Amino acid sequence: MTDVCIHAIGCANPPTRLSREQWIEMAVGIAPESVERATITRLAERSDIDGRWCASAPRAGESDFFQRDSAHHDDHDDHDHGPGTARRMQLWSSAARQMSLDACTQAIERAGIAPQQITHLITASCTGFEAPGLDAWIINNLALSPECRKTNVGFMGCHAAINALAIARDIVIANPSALAMVCCAEVSSAHLHYSDRVDQLIANTIFADGASAVVVGRADPKQTSIKPPRIAATHSIIMPASADAMSWTIGDHGFEMSLGARVPQIIQDQLGPWVRRSLAQHGMSIADVRGWAIYPGGPRVIEAVLDALALPRASADASRRILREFGNMSSATLLFIMQDLMKREAPRPWVGLAFGPGIAGEMVVVV
């Protein structure tokens, strides 16, 4: 196996944290009149999310980002769809920049390196775009070398952290002296919808805001006593007959999520054979894996993974902790879970699993 290591992870969120009760109040204010408060409360309770950080939440002294059109404020009618996509992108840009700066700074400091040592930067987001991009912002504001190589993983969805890790791993394999940094930044709350569609109400309920960064490079030969986690391999799959089960498109009033009720069942039916085949390529079985970073697309997705792989419920403890404390932060989430495993010194090997539109599955093996 190649000696490509995770040197450090950093995680960050916007300034405002909402309890479940505060989130319910915000969601009721956004929802059309036809959506009952009891429905929003029930979805919030079933989400298993106790709190989340939210860049679009109203703050003292600032205007409410999701304040309804005054012409339709009283009746919450269907003519009011919320801010346009351009304004939502402004929120994404502001929040993603600050969170990325915080997460990358943490990762660099924990890795014990200077910013100028980063040779490659891989950014990932599916909740916003701009050019010059987030990569240029990070390079300029963290004093990375202006010759740092840049790659952007755009609009891939919740599994993009693994796609970005795969790129970082390949870079370090090809360039042994390279030091790559991955940064995932998601402002999901920029795309909250004034909708009575059940799938969009669920998306509103589950998704939250966060950023995570990881420094990837060769192991330091001088540190013989410390064995950092190694990225042994990544694997990908597009699950057959699943393209219509989950989508993420750009609309006039933000990005629009379509979630089919079949998603957990598709994962449960198709995940097991793929994971077993992939692990077998490394002489491993499911029983050999000692730590799991399961992407918490929601409680039903976690349960579907556990059932598909016949895992004990405790295997998802780290994923449930992150979901409960932070919500689903799209691509940033998986690195939050891996940081949790690192902090708790969970025995390795680990397997990370994440899913996105397609339905695509991504897997990382860490030893």
Q: What pLDDT, on a 0 to 100 scale, did the predictor assign at position 62?
A: 66
Is 213 among the domain residues?
no
For the chain, what percentages of helix, strand and coil (3-state, to nearest 5) are there?
A: 40, 25, 35
How many CB atoms are closer than 10 A to CB 316?
A: 21
Could you give the number of structural domains in the chain? Answer: 1
Per-residue pLDDT tens, the chain, 367 aa: give them.
Answer: 568 999 999 999 999 999 999 999 999 999 999 999 999 999 999 999 999 999 999 875 566 788 655 444 444 455 568 899 999 999 999 999 999 999 999 999 999 999 999 999 999 999 999 999 999 999 999 999 999 999 999 999 999 999 999 999 999 999 999 999 999 999 999 999 999 999 999 999 999 999 999 999 998 767 656 789 999 999 999 999 999 999 999 999 999 999 889 999 999 999 999 999 999 999 999 999 999 999 999 999 999 999 999 999 999 999 999 999 999 999 999 999 999 999 999 999 999 999 999 999 999 999 9
Is 48 among the domain residues?
no
CATH number of the domain where residue 305 is located: 3.40.47.10
Q: What pLDDT, on a 0 to 100 scale, did the predictor assign at position 361?
A: 98
Is 349 among the domain residues?
yes
Is 292 among the domain residues?
yes
Is 360 among the domain residues?
yes
Is 355 among the domain residues?
yes
Q: Which domain holds residue 272?
A: 231-366
Is 173 among the domain residues?
no
Is 97 among the domain residues?
no
Secondary structure (DSSP) of 242-309: -TTTEEEEEETTEEEEEE-TTHHHHHHHHHHHHHHHHHHTTT--GGG--EEEE--S-HHHHHHHHHHH
Q: Is the dihedral of CA 339, 332, 322, 170 positive or negative?
A: negative
